Amino acid sequence: MEYKNFDLNKIYDFKEYPDVKDGRCDNCGNTLFKSSVMEGKFIRECRQCGMKKSI
């Protein structure tokens, strides 16, 4: 599996970093995510690599 070396400790903003391919993780291409709310923001986290985006 090829990763694109995003900083996995950072939460990326969807407005600044929209999905390259709709519904897929930009880092690993996975389509499965877990969702949570943190500080009033909806966070989408890739189940495979852990990349997070604030939606």
* Identity of the amino acid at 36: S
What backbone torsions phi and psi does residue 39 show, to the nearest 5 degrees? 55, 40
Distance CA 45, CA 33 (A): 5
Average pLDDT of the chain is: 93
Residue located via tokens 């070396």: 5
- Stretch 13-26: mean pLDDT, rounded? 95
Note if the pTM is more than 0.95.
no
What pLDDT sits at residue 2? 65
Taking residues 16-39, report their average pLDDT: 95
Q: For residue 35, what pLDDT is reported? A: 97
The pLDDT of residue 4: 83
Residue of 22 and 3 predicted with greater confidence: 22
Q: 35 φ, ψ to 5°?
A: -120, 150
Residues 6+ apart with CB under 8 A from 5: 27
